A and B are shown apart, each in its own frame.
Chain A
Amino acid sequence: MSIIERYKPAFLDSSAQGPKGSRHTLNYKKIWQMVIFLTAAVTLVPLITITMLDYNVTQKSIESEISLRTRRTVSNTKRTIVSFFSARRSALDFIVHDNDISVLSNTNRLEEILNDLEISFGGFVDLGVINDKGVQIAYSGAYNLGGKDYSDQAWFNRVVDMGVYKSEVFLGFRNKPHLVIAVKCEFGESGFYVLRATLDTDQFNDIFATLELNGEGDAFLINHEGVIQTPSRYQGDVFSTVSILVPPYSDYTQVQEYRQEDKEQFIVGYAYIPDTNFILMIVKQKAALMKSWYATRSNLIGFLLLSITLILGVIVLGTTYLVNQMFFSDRKRAMVMHRIEYDNKLSTVGRLAAGVAHEINNPLAIINEKAGLIKDLFVYREKYSGDDKLMGLVESVLSSVTRCGTITKRLLNFARHMDESFQTVDIKTVIKEALGFLVKEAEYRSIEIVVTVPEEFPEVECDRGKLQQVLLNIVNNAFSAIGSEGRLTIEVQTKNEQFWILTLADTGCGIPEKDIEMIFEPFYTSKLDQGGTGLGLSITYQLIEEAGGFIKVESEVGRGTSFIITMPFKPKKRKEANTCESF
């Protein structure tokens, strides 16, 4: 039997449905399916719905939080950068307002100021004064730029127009990155000069270096063309182009998702630094940010799947168990009903038969005595004793009466013992009495019956009526199986101190292997078309069990069948007929 066969519940078996006019009142398979479906739906649908809702909400919440945090960091950093520039611009403004152009044009003074700037701010590399023609009239610093002409340079025009200029990062003195701030100072009428300072980017870069970023965050500046201005962890060296697309202009901090082809997803927070060519970029790896969410998500999904499995498991197993119980219970009920029906029928028929027998006995007794009297007259009176023919006739009548008497006695005997319970019996007698009913039929069908009971076989305490019912049942079946021309062997032997064995073997058509397991099942019959109810052997089984015995069958198609019944010599004290201890 495959595993499925072994565990398949009985009610799913189609043969359990029974023939038309099924004894089962319910369609178990349907009930089973319905219950499972409904229970599963009502438990799983809310579970899954809520899980999904929770999932969505949590995910959105986490994404929102990430976005918010990034946005805040970007905003704060933007403010820091703006402050940085603002402070240094203010310093320059102070210088130009504090010092006249004539003072500033003095290189020594310029040098002093540069030193002071260096002490107070740090990072100032040089300082230069440029006149309204674009010529550097004073310079202090690392380079040698005195007298340089900036008139045609874009930055100069810009500072002239806007009053202030902040450059991009460029490769300056000693090939290190620098940037420039310049402010315009007007004096008199339409007169102006420009104060220009070069800064190294150390302090500038520190703004980014000191940021604490999660998600492998990378904070840096790019210019509007995407050239990296400050050191980046992952995006490339300073002055290389960032691989991320330059984000569109916005007055405010923005946070976006960005996906590189086939590569990871990034969260990019950016802000355009006003009055500069800079864009602040803070790039975080989505995977790193979402790591805890992914873990939670896995747990959530894992929990969901586990729950679903458990729930389905419990539902299916529970429902299967329950429906199975219903099925067996229903079957048992049907069995009990039929057993009651059988017992009632038997009882009624028994009483009927007894009634008939009794009624027949009276005229039978009269015939017996009258014929007997005739015989007596022949014997005791000379007149008739010589007439052999008449004597013969009388004898014939008498022997027929005796035969009738045997039949009625047998019937009455059987009826009498039906209501009894346990008594001590001689097995041989019981068997003979039971067979008595069937001797004629056996002759008619040419079936030889052989009974073997050991000489000194002890008396048995059992329910005589039940034993006879069992015998009649099995012998009848044997006759059906044989049809005509065959042999039935009934053998009695001792098994051990407690049990004896009754074997009934016929030379009938046999039982196919697939049916053997089923023959004791209630309602199982091969005689459906003859009106067989399939109850004979099932009831036989019950009767034997109630008597404390056990029955098993061996059969071979075409050769015959043997029923082996093991019975106790003495019945146990039993309350419930269902206990039958096998050996």
Chain B
Amino acid sequence: MRVLLVDDEVEYVATLAERLSFRGVEARWASNAKEALAYINQEPFDVAVLDVKMPKMGGIELKRRIEEIAPGMRFIYLTGHGSEDDYKKGITDGISYLIKPVDIDQLMKVINQAAAGRIG
């Protein structure tokens, strides 16, 4: 399982990636859209976990961009905001939406589900 994590909080996303790797996931992390897209262009991924609110380009816009390059990608949204609009947007896209701080096991479950194609 190859997962790309994108979040502007470096400490957070790096640690998360490390924790996922303990659980058998090959995780890459990026702290902005540019880095993320660079990874997408270079390597294949099964699931992309995107923070919704990021400076310059947020998760929703990034999803679109990624889909242009890698159409079969599955997505999961992360947010610390809990704002109504983001939530609704996420829901209508049919994508899972998790609120930080996430439970690692919950995250694993959702990643597996996404990869299996049941959601995303």
Residues of A within 8 A of B (CB): 354, 357-358, 361-362, 364-370, 372-373, 376, 379-380, 401, 405, 409, 412-413, 415-417, 419-420
Contact = CB atoms under 8 A, between A and B. Distances in A.
B99 interface: yes
B100 A361 contact: yes
Contact of B9 (A354, A366, A416, A417): A366
A372 B104 contact: yes
Contacts of B99: 409, 412
Given A362-B12, A366-B9, A373-B18, A416 B83 contact: yes
Nearest to A380: B22
A379 B11 CA distance: 21
A409 B103 CA distance: 13
B39 interface: no
Nearest to A364: B101
Given A364-B101, A369-B19, A373-B15, A358 B9 contact: no
Given A380-B22, A401-B101, A366 B11 contact: yes
- Most A CB contacts (10 A, CB to CB) among B19, B81, B87, B100 go to B100
B15 A358 contact: no
Contacts of A416: 82-84, 87
B19 A420 contact: no
B44 interface: no
B101 A361 contact: yes
A362 B18 contact: no
A574 to B, nearest CB: 23
A412 B79 CA distance: 12
B80 A358 contact: yes
A409 B82 contact: yes
B81 A412 contact: yes
Contacts of B22: 376, 379-380
Nearest to A361: B80
A367 B102 CA distance: 11
Contacts of B81: 358, 361, 412
Given A358-B81, A401-B101, A409-B82, A365 B19 contact: no
A376 B17 CA distance: 12
B95 interface: no
A410 to B, nearest CB: 10
Interface residues of B, number: 19
Interface of B: 9, 11-12, 15-16, 18-19, 22, 80-84, 87, 99-102, 104
Contacts of B102: 365, 368
B97 to A, nearest CB: 13
15 contacts: A354-B83, A358-B81, A361-B81, A365-B101, A366-B15, A368-B100, A369-B11, A369-B12, A370-B11, A370-B15, A373-B19, A412-B81, A416-B83, A416-B84, A416-B87
Given A369-B101, A413-B82, 11 more contacts: A358-B81, A361-B81, A362-B80, A364-B100, A366-B11, A368-B102, A369-B12, A369-B16, A412-B99, A415-B82, A419-B84
Contacts of A372: 15, 19, 104
Contacts of B12: 362, 365-366, 369
Nearest to B82: A412
A365 B82 contact: no
Nearest to B104: A372
Nearest to A401: B101
A416 B11 CA distance: 27
A12 B11 CA distance: 68
Contacts of A405: 101
B84 A420 contact: yes
B55 to A, nearest CB: 13
B100 A365 contact: yes
Nearest to A414: B82
- Most A CB contacts (10 A, CB to CB) among B15, B84, B87, B101 go to B101
A86 B82 CA distance: 132
Given A373-B18, A401-B101, A405-B101, A365 B80 contact: yes
B101 A376 contact: no
A363 to B, nearest CB: 9
Contacts of B104: 372
A354 B82 contact: yes
A408 to B, nearest CB: 8
A362 B82 CA distance: 12
B72 to A, nearest CB: 28
B35 to A, nearest CB: 19
Contacts of B82: 354, 357-358, 409, 412-413, 415-416
A357 B99 CA distance: 12
A429 B84 CA distance: 18
Contacts of A380: 22
A376 B80 contact: no
Contacts of A373: 15, 18-19
A368 B84 contact: no
Contacts of A419: 84
Contact of B15 (A357, A369, A415): A369
Nearest to B7: A365
The 9 A-B residue pairs with the shortest CB-CB distance in the complex, in nearest-first order: A412-B82, A361-B80, A368-B101, A369-B15, A365-B100, A365-B101, A376-B22, A366-B11, A416-B84
B42 to A, nearest CB: 25
Nearest to B100: A365
Contacts of A379: 22
B16 to A, nearest CB: 5
Contacts of B18: 373, 376
Nearest to A379: B22
B104 to A, nearest CB: 6
A379 B100 CA distance: 23
Contacts of A420: 84
A367 B12 CA distance: 8
A376 B104 CA distance: 10
A354 B85 CA distance: 14
Nearest to B84: A416
